[in-house]
Amino acid sequence: MPGVILENLSGRKLFVLVSVLMVLLVACFLIGGLVAPPPSNAEHFIAIKCFDYDNTSWFYTRGEGRCNEYNLHYHIDIENDQIADKVVFVFQIPTPKDNIILDYSRWQQNLIGVLSFEIMYDGVFEMPNDVLLTMDVKLGYRNRGDKDYDWKLYASSTVERHLDCSIGTKKKEYNYNCSIVPLFELGSLHHDYYLLNIRFPVDQKTQINTNLGDLEDLGLVAINQNGGFTVVWLILKTTFFPLIILTMMWFWNRVHQLKRSPVLLEYMILSLGGTLTLLNAPFEWLTLYFDLPFMPLFIDIRQGIFYASLLSFWLVFAGEHLMINDPQPHHLSIYVKHLSAVAIGCISLLIFDLFEKGSQVTNPFYSIWVTSLGTNLALTFIICAGISASIYFIFLCYMIWKVFCNINVKRSSLPSMSSVRRLHYEGIIYRFKFLMLATLTCAAMTVIGFILDQVSDGRWKWDEHIEIEYTSAFLTGVYGMWNIYILALIILYSPSHKQWPSDVDLISSAGDEIELSRISANEPNEISLLTSLAKKVSGD
| pLDDT tens sequence across 181-217 | 889 999 899 999 999 999 988 888 888 888 887 788 8
- CATH code for residues 5-39+228-539: 1.20.1070
Instruction: Evaluate if residue 421 carries a pLDDT over 70.
Output: no
Q: Mean pLDDT over residues 370-395, rounded?
A: 76
pLDDT band for 18, please (50, 70, 90 cuts): confident
Helices 419-462, 295-322: axis angle to 10 degrees equals: 150
- pLDDT, tens only, 44-76: 999 998 888 887 889 998 888 888 887 755 444
Question: Can you give the pLDDT at residue 341?
Answer: 76
Question: Can you give the pLDDT at residue 173?
Answer: 58
C-beta neighbour count of 466 within 10 angstroms: 11
Min mean pLDDT across 231-235, 239-243, 281-285, 380-384 is at: 380-384
CB 95 within 8 A of CB 48: no
Q: Is 305 exposed, middle or buried (0-12, 13-18, 19+ CB in 10 A)?
A: middle
CB 161 within 8 A of CB 180: no
Min mean pLDDT across 20-29, 33-42, 271-280, 319-328 is at: 319-328
Q: Mean pLDDT over residues 491-513, rounded?
A: 56
Question: Can you give the pLDDT at residue 181?
Answer: 87
What topology is assigned to 40-225 in CATH? Jelly Rolls (2.60.120)
114: closest CA among 418, 457, 377, 530? 457
- pLDDT, tens only, 235-252: 999 999 999 999 999 999
**CA pair distance 309, 164, nearest whole angstrom:** 41
pLDDT averaged over the chain?
78
Instruction: Evaluate if residue 304 carries a pLDDT over 70.
Output: yes
Per the rule left: phi > 0, alpha: psi between -120 and 50, beta: everything else, 65 is left
Domain segments of the chain as ranges: 5-39+228-539, 40-225
Helices 264-280, 472-492: axis angle to 10 degrees equals: 150
Beta bridge partners, 40, equal 225
Instruction: Evaluate if residue 528 carries a pLDDT over 80.
Output: no
Instruction: Evaluate if residue 473 carries a pLDDT over 90.
Output: no
Cα dist. 439→317, 446, 477 in Å?
10, 10, 15
Q: Mean pLDDT over residues 290-305, rounded?
A: 89
**CA pair distance 517, 501, nearest whole angstrom:** 9
Question: Can you give the pLDDT at residue 512?
Answer: 44
What does residue 461 show for φ and ψ, rounded to 5 degrees?
Answer: -110, -10
Percent of the chain with pLDDT over 90: 22
pLDDT band for 468, please (50, 70, 90 cuts): very low
Cα dist. 313→36, 100, 268 in Å?
31, 52, 6
- pLDDT, tens only, 505-517: 444 444 444 444 4
More confident residue, 81 or 452: 452
CA dihedral 222, 226, 227, 233 (to 10 degrees): -140
CB 228 within 8 A of CB 37: yes
pLDDT band for 132, please (50, 70, 90 cuts): confident
Question: Can you give the pLDDT at residue 413?
Answer: 62
Q: Mean pLDDT over residues 263-274, rounded?
A: 89
pLDDT band for 142, please (50, 70, 90 cuts): very high
Question: Can you give the pLDDT at residue 240?
Answer: 94
23: closest CA among 484, 539, 511? 484
Q: What residue type is assigned to position 18 of the chain? A: V
Q: Mean pLDDT over residues 339-355, rounded?
A: 78
**CA pair distance 530, 407, nearest whole angstrom:** 8
Question: Can you give the pLDDT at residue 189?
Answer: 92
Q: Mean pLDDT over residues 279-284, rounded?
A: 93
pLDDT band for 524, please (50, 70, 90 cuts): very low
510: closest CA among 421, 411, 412, 416? 421
Q: Mean pLDDT over residues 461-474, rounded?
A: 58
Q: What residue type is assigned to position 77 of the chain? A: D
CB 225 within 8 A of CB 110: yes
Q: Mean pLDDT over residues 204-233, rounded?
A: 87
Rank 22-31, 261-270, 343-352, 380-389 by mean pLDDT and report only the highest: 22-31
Question: Can you give the pLDDT at residue 483?
Answer: 93
Question: Can you give the pLDDT at residue 505?
Answer: 45
